[in-house]
Structure 1
């Protein structure tokens, strides 16, 4: 259990470091994993001793743990931490996490994703100086049956008291939590995602198009998304048959898919549920005009007709109308592309995100 995490050792310098243990439900790259990677690889290693543990799902050479190992970050497996609800495995998961906490003795337990948030806070309550739960979109907002939504709300409300802070990456999610009575010990905060636009290594339009086997004459409408129901890809797929002059490209489960964004003339995010999608920041950084649904933090990122176009979710017609608008207005496309990149650099940059979390870590004595 957690077999790859290394002991702290006897180095006196290590003793003064603040120890942070990150837990996430699975290693397969998604929003939570992207967040952890960006945060831990940019923290000052002279000030923080960091370990990251994840469930076995998605643990391969394209997963989070493998990527962190290459950066010299201590990592470990949690064999019983799984996405699906199973009382037997979940109980074993709590015991497994409890043993890990006793071994690592972290100053801060940092939990990402719903299952890790529940089991981790259960195991860590009253044992750690600070328990932080960062959630990139509430699970109860997924398209579940009513009973399941109520179950997830109950779980979040019960476990909130085991956490010191809950971090949302969307102000709308924070306000929703307050409204339904999710109350951690110290408070709920909003910290937006951030990236370093200048460090993203995009292929140029020709190179990206060649990789995707596109013709120079293609007008490309594209997206990057896992094929989950919440991503609304079925609505986007309807566009291709109704707009004859476009080439639709959907990139799923491709490592570093952002590299190919410059192949797109328009980027569309058709999600029916989101937290704060990293891919919008990547597309803006690439200078690609954005069409995105009004869900999650997206309206907090995009100002309609200024740095992107906002549309209603679950509406192929809304996607089609927005694509037509941009195809017929090249000046608007250029405006959105320029303003989008400016938005990332000024408002959603990596330095701002890192500084907010460091402030939170340093408030622990």
Structure 2
């Protein structure tokens, strides 16, 4: 194996702080520095950039790469394609590691363009592309024709990538069904380093005192940590609270940690169907964007202040928050999009997707037998890092 230092360029569309961003951060920050040089190219957002700066990891801002909710080609994609092409020529990495569907599709086309330019100019430099699918985008709730177009775009992304990493068994099974590309699929489940959780009393003191009424501290406290987008299914968890409040008034409260495009819609829906402006049983809190050197300002540290974790998602890969909630000892109620995780997380309960009623029923079922029992998820971070590093260095994978 070539022992020279390899340069890895990570590309991601959104620079906020979610599962994909944490994945990029963990890999970039923990690869052995004597064997790898890491650079991260980021589209919208600044949180990931600030966190990478605490680890002295260089970042590049991509002005043209923008997140969009519309499927299909966008006018801005032309500029983003050439921006990526220039980036590859300037950085000259060994591996491009693409994260997020739009960045990946544009990225693999830019890699092809880069290779063509090298061929025409008789240069021998070879660039490899790896794509991590943090949940297949064609699983999203969209019209049938749009889903077909997204599936086709995803297939081309996998076809043009040298390897595609999936982070869940369900996504591995779906990937293996794709014609002509199943050999390119590699399953590497996500894992996390240990978290220093605040103990319950301290977490409660910070979150709930001295300015919170007793109705919260005396309630059964539910919690979700998520980016506030349609894929997270939070409208159904608000419907869950409507069901619970109608049947058991004043028994439950629900805190949603997160930021995102759906914040105003979710807040409006909560106020409309729950009619609890003076005593809100659903509360929205920012995850916290003051970035200390130890990255301690994260919502997951406060999980022990709650009783039950809710994951109402419509589309997921393998979300870090489930691992975090399990490590904190919370029972987890999740939808079937992460059903495969229940095989190694014993305190996890799975319900039907897109159903506030099913979420509410399961909450009620386990409410009076809640105790915190921390669990090891069975897959350590070092193993995930080693498997990814093997993809970067092992010639047989390419």
Q: CA–CA distance in 2 between the matches of 1:83 and 1:181?
A: 28
Q: Is the 8 A contact 2:224 2:256 kept in 1?
A: yes
Are residues 1:247 and 2:274 paired? Answer: no
Are residues 1:187 and 2:197 paired? Answer: no
Deviates more, 1:305-314 or 1:261-270: 305-314
Q: CA–CA distance in 1 between the matches of 2:79 and 2:332?
A: 44
The aligned counterpart of 1:65 is: 49
Q: CA–CA distance in 2 between the matches of 1:19 and 1:306?
A: 39
TM-align CA RMSD:
2.1
Q: CA–CA distance in 2 between the matches of 1:188 and 1:237?
A: 36
CA deviation vs aligned residue, 1:214-251 (integer Å, no higher than 9, x gap): 64422211111122122111111123333331111111
Per the TM alignment, residue 77 of structure 1 is displaced from its structure 2 partner at its CA by: 0.7
How do 1:94-243 residues align onto structure 2 when only pairs under 5 Å count? 94-125=81-112, 127=115, 128-181=126-179, 183=181, 187-197=184-194, 200-213=195-208, 215=214, 216-243=217-244
Choose between structure 1 and 2 for higher RCO, CA contacts under 8 A separated by at least 6 residues: 2
Per the TM alignment, residue 132 of structure 1 is displaced from its structure 2 partner at its CA by: 0.4
The aligned counterpart of 1:8 is: none
- TM (norm. structure 2) is 0.79
3-state SS of 1:302 partner: helix
Q: CA–CA distance in 2 between the matches of 1:182 and 1:103?
A: 33
Per the TM alignment, residue 355 of structure 1 is displaced from its structure 2 partner at its CA by: 1.1
CA deviation vs aligned residue, 1:155-184 (integer Å, no higher than 9, x gap): 122233321001110121122123243727
Q: CA–CA distance in 2 between the matches of 1:52 and 1:182?
A: 31
Per the TM alignment, residue 279 of structure 1 is displaced from its structure 2 partner at its CA by: 0.4
Q: CA–CA distance in 1 between the matches of 2:388 and 2:252?
A: 42
3-state SS of 2:14 partner: coil
Are residues 1:81 and 2:65 paired? Answer: yes
3-state SS of 2:160 partner: coil
Q: CA–CA distance in 2 between the matches of 1:182 and 1:155?
A: 15
Q: Is the 8 A contact 2:189 2:318 kept in 1?
A: yes
- TM (norm. structure 1) is 0.86
Q: CA–CA distance in 1 between the matches of 2:328 and 2:354?
A: 26
Deviates more, 1:124-133 or 1:249-258: 124-133
3-state SS of 1:20 partner: strand
Number of residue pairs matched? 333
Q: Is the 8 A contact 1:157 1:182 kept in 2?
A: no
